[in-house]
Structure 1
Amino acid sequence: MDFKRSDFPKGFRFGVATSAYQIEGHAKGGAGLTHWDSFAATPGNVVRFEDGALACDHYDRMDEDLDLIKGLGADVYRFSTSWARVMPEGRGPVNAEGLDFYDRLVDGLLARGIDPAVTLYHWELPQPLADQGGWRNADMPNWFADYTEAIMGRIGDRTWSAAPINEPWCVSWLSHFEGHHAPGLRDIRATARAMHHVLLSHGRSIQAMKALGVKNLGAVCNFEWATPASDSAADAAACAHYDAIYNRFFLGGLFKGAYPEEVLDGLAPHLPHGWQDDFATIQSPLDWVGLNYYTRKRISAVDEPWPAYAYAPPQGSLTDMEWEIYPDGLKNFLTRTAREYTGDLPLYVTENGMASATTPDPDRISYLTDHLRSVQAAVAEGAPVAGYYVWSLMDNYEWALGYEKRFGLVHVDFETLARTPKASYHALADWWR
C-alpha cells in the first residue's frame, strides 16, 4: 500500500471492526442463550453445526487482541455488545459480569489511545425474546430501549461513537424472508414487521442514548450495488426492486420518513397498524451514517410473485464468499448517499473487507487498496467521508458458514486460538502508524 494519511481528509479515521458473537465466546461470562445458538443447533442451518460458544475466545484474550489493534495503528475499534450477555433473558435482570466485561473493553481501548465505537446489536437476539416473536413483536422497540439504557448507562460516557443496530437488511430481510440467518424464517408478514420494527427500535435507542447524554450517534446500513443483468426493461425493473429493498428502504425511513414504492408494492399489507406514524421516532437526528460494503449483484427478472428478481452469475474476480469484487460500488454509494439522503452528514465506511484463505494474502491487500482508492474518488467528488474501518480484525465465526471463511487481518488457528498477523495487517500497520 502506497497511501499516506495526508492522502485523505484531515482528521480521517482508520479502524477495524468485529462483532460480539463472532469473537467473544458466548458460552462464557453468564451470557444467555441466543437465537443464533438455537439456529446453529438445527440441522442444515450452519456448516458442521458450528456456533459461537467459543469463537475466538476474545472474552479471555481481550488484552492480546487490544494490543493487536494498537500494533496496527488503528484510530478506532468498532465492536458490538451482546444483548444476551448484558441481559440474559432479554428483559429484567442485568448480568453484572457482562457489564464488567464491556467496561474493561472500553477502558482497555482508551488506555491504548483507541477510540471505542460501539454497535449495540449485531444479530444475536436473546432466545427468550425470540420465543415471543423477536423482531416481529411490536414491543421490541421498548425492549431494545431498555437494553440500550442498561449497556450505555454503563459505558456510554466513554464511547467515541455509538450505533443501535448493525445492517438492518440482514436482521430483517435476510433472516425473515430468505431464511439464511436466525431465526431462519421465510414469511413475508414477519419480514415486513421486522423491517419496520428494526427501524423503530433504532429510533427508540437513539432517543434513549440522547437522554443519557451519549454523544456521536449514528446508523449502520449495509449496501450491495445492483446492476441489471441485461438491457431489458424487465431486468431494469427487477433491479429497481432489489435496490429498493436492499439499499433504499432503510435510508428512506431514516432520512425521508417514507419507504420506496417498489417495496410497499409487496410489503404494505403486512406492515404493522399505524406504521406511518412512527417516522418521527425513526428519524431521530443522527451525527453520522455508516456504510458496510462488500460487493455488487447482477439482477435478472423472473416470472414469480413479488419481488420477482433473481441473482445472475457474478462477473470478474471473486472472493472466497463468491462475491464479485467491485470497488466502484463503494464510491457510488458514498456519493449517492450524500446526494440523495444525508447531505453534509459525515459518512463512515464501517465495514469493508474480503474472505480469503490465501497465505500470505496479497489478494486482501489488493482488495483493500482498490476500495480505499474508491473512497478517495468519492471524496474527490465531494462526499463527506470521515473514516474507513476494515472487516475484520481477526478470522472469526462467519455465521451460517461457520469458521470456513476468513475475513481477518489476523489469522486465527481455531484449534489453538493462536493469533498470527497476516501480510495485510503488516501492510496497514506500516501505513497507519
Structure 2
Amino acid sequence: MTGPGGLLLGVASGAPHVEGSAGRGRSVWDAFAAAPGRIADGTVPDPAARPGHADPDLALQAALGGDAYRISVSWPRVQPGGSGPAAPAGLDAYDARVDGLLARGIRPWVALYRWDLPLELMLDGGWLVRDTAERFGDYAALVAGRLADRVDGWATLDDPFAHMALGHAVGVDAPGLTLLGGAFAVTHHLLLGHARGVAALRAAGAGRVGLVNNHTAVRPAGPGGADRWAAGFYDRYHNRQFADPVLLGAYPERLITLPGVPDDLVADADPAAIAAPLDFYGVTYEHPVTVAAAPENRSVPLSLVPMAGVPRSATDLPLHPPSLERALLDLRDRYPRLPPVYVTATAGAFDDEGGAPDVGGPARIDFLDGHLAALRRAAAAGVPVAGYFHWTLLDGWEGSAGRRPRTGLVHVDPDSGVRTPRPAFTHYRDLIRGDRPTAGPAAGP
C-alpha cells in the first residue's frame, strides 16, 4: 500500500525525542543537558513521551493509517558502553516495536544513529577518532542481526551534517564542541561509520539501505560577487560535504583543502567504501538559508541572514516550502546516479498557547500541505521522489531547544503524557486515505 500518487507516506520520530533515558546507558546528550544553560528550557530527556512501542502510540499510528513509521535506535540502549555485547532488554524493546508496527500493517523504517553517542565513546575521542567508526560497525551488526529480516528501510546515519555542524563545529548541540573547521575529522569518521554500517546491514541481509542527511536551498544575500562566493562556499559546506563523497566518491575540493585538515585523514580505501551503492537517499529539509559575505570575520567569513517576507516557526526559522523543491532539484542536477529519494523529515514547530493542543491547527496544516506540494512538483520535474515522512507523530524533547518546539501531529502533555490528536493529524490521515486533494499551494519565489 502507498499513498495517493504512488508515494509512500508516513511519520517519523527519534530515540532522543521520545524514549528518555530510563533503561539505557548515558549518552552525550545526558552530559550536555546537565550543563547549565545548554538546553533552552532547562529540561532533560525525561520525562519522555514514553517509548513508541507502547500500545497507545501503536494505536495512534494505526489510526493515522500511514504506510510506514520511521524510528531511530538508541546506541546506548543497545550497547550501554558503546562496545561489547548487546543489552538483551534494549534489543527486545526494538524487536517488540517492529513487531507491533508490522502487526498493524505499518512498515518499520529504522535509523541506526541519531546523535546519541554513548558517553564512554565520547570520552575516548568520539567521532574525532577513527575507532568510533569501527565501533559503529559492530553496533550496526548487533541491531541488524536481530531486526534485518523485518525492517523495510534502514538508514545508517540520520542527519550527520547537523550532528557535525551543530554538535562539533559551533557547539549548539551535544557534545558541545566548538571546533569550526576542525570538525572535518568528524565528517570523515561519521561517513566511515556509515560505510561500516552499510557493510554490516548488507551482510545481515537488509533489503533497503540508505543514508539520511540535511539539505537546504542556499541563496546569496545580494547580487555582488562576495555574497555569491559566500553562498557557494556554504552550499558546499551544508549540502555537499556529505552528499558528494556518498554519491560522487569525493569530497568537495574547497573543503578537503581547508587549513587544519590532516593529510592522512582519508585512507586510500575510504572513498570507495563510503561511496558504496545505496538503495535510497533520505533528505531532511528544515528551512532555506540566505548567506552574506562577512570579510571582517576571520574565523567564519560569512553570515546567515533572515529571509524576509515569509512566516516563521516557533523556533524563529523561515517557513518556505518552495525551497524544499529547490533543494530536491539541486540533488537531481548534481548527482546523475541519485537513488530514490525519501523526504524523511521537515521541521515545523508551532506554539500551543496555554497548552491547548488545537492552537496552530491551520498553520500546521498549511505547513504539511505546502511541503507535500513542493515534493510533488519536484517529482513532476524528474526528481526520483519515492516518499515522505512527517516529523513528528508526537511532541517530544527536541534536544537543545527543549520541549517548547511542538512538532507533533499529536499533542503530548509533558506532565501526564496524555495524547490528543491535533487537526493536522486528521488532515494527514485524510490525505493518506485519498479523502482530500493532494495539491497544495502554488510555488513561491
Whether 1:16 aligns to 2:14 is no
Would you say how many aligned residue pairs link Structure 1 and Structure 2?
A: 424
Cα 1:73–1:63 shift into 2, 3 Å: same
| Preserved contact between residue 353 and residue 368 of structure 1 (Cα < 8 Å) | no
> Bigger CA drift: 155-164 or 45-54?
45-54
Deviation of 1:25 after TM superposition, in Å, equals: 2.1
Q: Residue 114 of structure 1 corresponds to which residue in structure 2?
A: 106
- Partner amino acid, structure 2, of 1:157: D
Deviation of 1:360 after TM superposition, in Å, equals: 4.7
Q: Residue 271 of structure 2 corresponds to which residue in structure 1?
A: 279
Deviation of 1:21 after TM superposition, in Å, equals: 1.2
Q: Which ranges of 4 or more aligned residues in structure 1 deviate by more than 4 Å?
A: none
Whether 1:124 aligns to 2:116 is yes
Cα 1:110–1:210 shift into 2, 3 Å: same
Alignment partner for residue 294 of structure 1, among 286, 296, 301? 286
State how far apart, in whole Å, the 2-side matches of 1:415 and 1:407 are: 17
TM-score, structure 1 normalization:
0.94
Q: Residue 421 of structure 1 corresponds to which residue in structure 2?
A: 421
Aligned 1:342-361 pairs, distance under 5 A: 343=337, 345-358=339-352, 359-361=359-361
Q: Residue 44 of structure 2 corresponds to which residue in structure 1?
A: 51
TM-score, structure 2 normalization:
0.92
CA RMSD between the two structures: 1.6
State how far apart, in whole Å, the 1-side matches of 2:207 and 2:3 are: 26
State how far apart, in whole Å, the 1-side matches of 2:300 and 2:241 are: 14
Aligned 1:29-428 pairs, distance under 5 A: 29=23, 31-58=24-51, 62-188=54-180, 190-266=182-258, 269-270=261-262, 272-275=264-267, 277-302=269-294, 303-305=296-298, 307-315=300-308, 316-341=310-335, 343=337, 345-358=339-352, 359-428=359-428
Cα 1:377–1:40 shift into 2, 3 Å: same
State how far apart, in whole Å, the 1-side matches of 2:262 and 2:320 are: 35
Deviation of 1:345 after TM superposition, in Å, equals: 1.7
| Preserved contact between residue 189 and residue 270 of structure 1 (Cα < 8 Å) | no
Percent identity for Structure 1 against Structure 2: 36
State how far apart, in whole Å, the 1-side matches of 2:148 and 2:162 are: 26
State how far apart, in whole Å, the 2-side matches of 1:101 and 1:178 are: 34
Secondary structure (helix, strand or coil) at the match of 1:321 reads: coil
State how far apart, in whole Å, the 2-side matches of 1:268 and 1:255 are: 25
Deviation of 1:86 after TM superposition, in Å, equals: 0.1
State how far apart, in whole Å, the 2-side matches of 1:226 and 1:363 are: 24
Q: Which runs of 5+ in 2 are unaligned?
A: 353-358, 434-445
State how far apart, in whole Å, the 1-side matches of 2:179 and 2:347 are: 31
Cα 1:255–1:385 shift into 2, 3 Å: same
Secondary structure (helix, strand or coil) at the match of 2:316 reads: coil
| Preserved contact between residue 169 and residue 177 of structure 2 (Cα < 8 Å) | yes
| Preserved contact between residue 353 and residue 367 of structure 1 (Cα < 8 Å) | no
Deviation of 1:251 after TM superposition, in Å, equals: 0.6
State how far apart, in whole Å, the 2-side matches of 1:283 and 1:399 are: 30
Q: Residue 26 of structure 1 corresponds to which residue in structure 2?
A: 21
Deviation of 1:307 after TM superposition, in Å, equals: 4.2
Secondary structure (helix, strand or coil) at the match of 2:287 reads: strand
Secondary structure (helix, strand or coil) at the match of 2:96 reads: helix
Give CA deviations for 1:90-118 in whole Å, capped at 9, x if unaligned: 00132111000000000000000000000
